[in-house]
Amino acid sequence: MCFKEEKPVEKIKKRKKTIIIVTLILIIAVALAITALSAGGKRARLSAAAVKYTVLARTELVNSISVSGTVKSRNAENVYSTLTYPVEEIYVSVGDQVETGDILAKLDTASLELDIAQQRSALENSQKAALIDLQNKTLAYRNAKRLYENGLNSELNNAEANLKTAETDLQTKVKAYEDNKILFEAGYISEQELNQSKNNYMLAVTAHDKAESALEAAEIKVEQDIKTAEANLKSTEASYNNDSQLISLQKLEKNLADSLIKAPADGTVTAVYAVTGSPGSGLLFIIEDTENLIVTSYVKEYDAGQVHPGQKVIIRSDATGDAVLSGEVVKIAPTSTKNAAGATITSSTVDFETEIAVLDHNTGLKIGMNTRLNIILEKRTDVYAVPYDAVSVNDHGRSIVYVITEENGKYIIKEIVVETGMETDFYTEVSGEGLSDGVMVVNEAAELNPGDAVNIEREGSNGEAGPTARLSFLRAR
């Protein structure tokens, strides 16, 4: 058998080819290893996370509405005058303390005083003349009535006398005529004499009728005179008692009294609009009680139904720094705010005016300051509270929280069934077995499962409900 000897060049080529293949295999293996390690590290990082928890401690839980408001005086008086006399003198300035009845200003009443003097003189003269007229009318009425009742009226008496005379004459003429008729029939007198007696009789009848009519007329006239005298008396009495001039004088005197502008209440002068020499009509002063303050606010439509008189209010202001002041709702408007015409304002945001009394004194608040208010709707003291998302519901429909417990040197997530109570925008009241001071409750229950082991990385906690720390955990697999 013979062997063919290989050439050196061909051996070198084969060796190089083998080295390249081995190198490629090694490179691929290293790459796969690096990728696997990288993926594993990424999975490890992905299984680690950071969450927050709350350390339980008894606290006060408050549900409130936050609004803003403006400080006002609870007792404010606008001092007006309707007089147009010029302002003569002003006695107060802004900031002065006044009491009820103090004189704030005086109007120039020189012309008014002259009008009063003239009116008083005219009234006195009118009353004197009216009194004399009344006395005369009274006397005339009484005299007319007295003469009539006592039969002393001359006109009536004359008429009665004339009637009596006429009656006597008629009787005489009647008898003479009757007698003459007998004598004529007997032939003792002539027909002419009979006719003459008849004419005398007829004249007597006429005279008697006139006398009767005259008496009736006299009686009517006397009665009418008495009625006229009585009517004149009543008219004069009405004129005498007419108060029109007196009322005019009283109005002028009232204007004189009102020319002294007085304080209607105790308080502080917070505005002076009166100007010396200018007409004294309109708003002249504002007096406010700077110690008895209120805050006027506006509550939105969706909160109005929860606000009632008597609810406590926390008041804060930039001007008073960190001071927390006490207040109380005293009134909430029954209707939403209205425009200048009195119509209810209709818009997408409806407000209800609310009045809050400031209960503290010497607060540092001043009228016109802006405030921040928390109207307390509900308050619970000495309770446990956790963030709203810390409460979840288990498969049995029970409310639960996740707490962090230490077991064998490890921190484990554990489920605790709780009863929920009052809720605010951020916190929920919880109670139940297993809850006590210092228990760590996970803020967001959805992030964990019971049995998860965690490593706490404390960042500081003051031990009160609400503060948080951070923790990292690895899912139990």
The model carries a pTM of 0.59
Residue 19: per-residue pLDDT: 45
463 located within any domain: yes
12 located within any domain: no
Q: Which tokens hold the place of 38?
A: 């990288």
What is the mean pLDDT for each group of 10 consecutive residues in the chain (477 residues)? 37 43 50 44 43 90 94 95 95 96 96 92 81 78 75 80 90 92 90 92 92 86 82 77 81 94 96 95 95 95 93 95 95 87 75 95 93 94 94 93 90 93 92 93 85 73 43 49
Pair 397, 420 in one domain: yes
Same domain, 190 and 175: yes
Quote the domain boundaries for residue 200: 113-249
Domain match, 237 and 301 both: no
Residue 43 lies in a domain: no
> Do 351 and 364 belong to one domain?
yes
CB 392 within 8 A of CB 379: no
pLDDT at 452: 86
pLDDT at 14: 42
Q: Given this model, what pLDDT does residue 472 score?
A: 56
Regarding whether 330 and 306 lie in a shared domain, the answer is: yes
CATH number at residue 117: 1.10.287.620
**305 and 341 fall within a common domain:** yes
389 shares a domain with 325? no
Predicted pLDDT of residue 340: 72
Q: Would 137 be classed as within a structural domain? A: yes
Tell whether 119 and 245 lie within a shared domain. yes
Total structural domains in the chain? 4
134-164: string of b/e by CB count within 10 Å (b at 16+)? beebeebbeebeebbeeeebeebeebbebbe
Is the domain of 274 the same as that of 394? no
Write down the pLDDT at residue 18. 44
Q: What torsion, rounded to 10 degrees, do the Cα atoms 90, 94, 97, 100 define?
A: 50
* CATH, residue 344: 2.40.30.170
Q: Which of 249, 275, 309 is the last residue of a domain?
A: 249
Among 379, 408, 443, the domain-final residue is 379
Buried b (16+ CB within 10 A) or exposed e, 362-384: ebebebebebebbbbbeebeebb
> Is 231 part of a structural domain of the chain?
yes
Structure token pair of residue 62: 């408050």
- Look at residue 2 in the predicted model and tell me its pLDDT: 34
Give the pLDDT score at 27: 54
Tally of CB atoms within 10 A around 89 = 11
Give the CATH number for residue 444.
2.40.420.20
CA dist 13 and 33 (Å) reads 31
200 plus 133 within the same structural domain:
yes
In a domain, 345, yes or no: yes
On whether residue 32 sits in a domain, the answer given is no
Same domain as 333, residue 373: yes
The first and second tokens of residue 30, run together, are 């290293």
Domain boundary, last residue among 379, 406, 421: 379
What was the pLDDT predicted at 49? Answer: 53
What pLDDT, on the 0 to 100 scale, is given for residue 316?
96
Q: 280 and 222, same structural domain?
A: no
Residue 257 lies in a domain: no
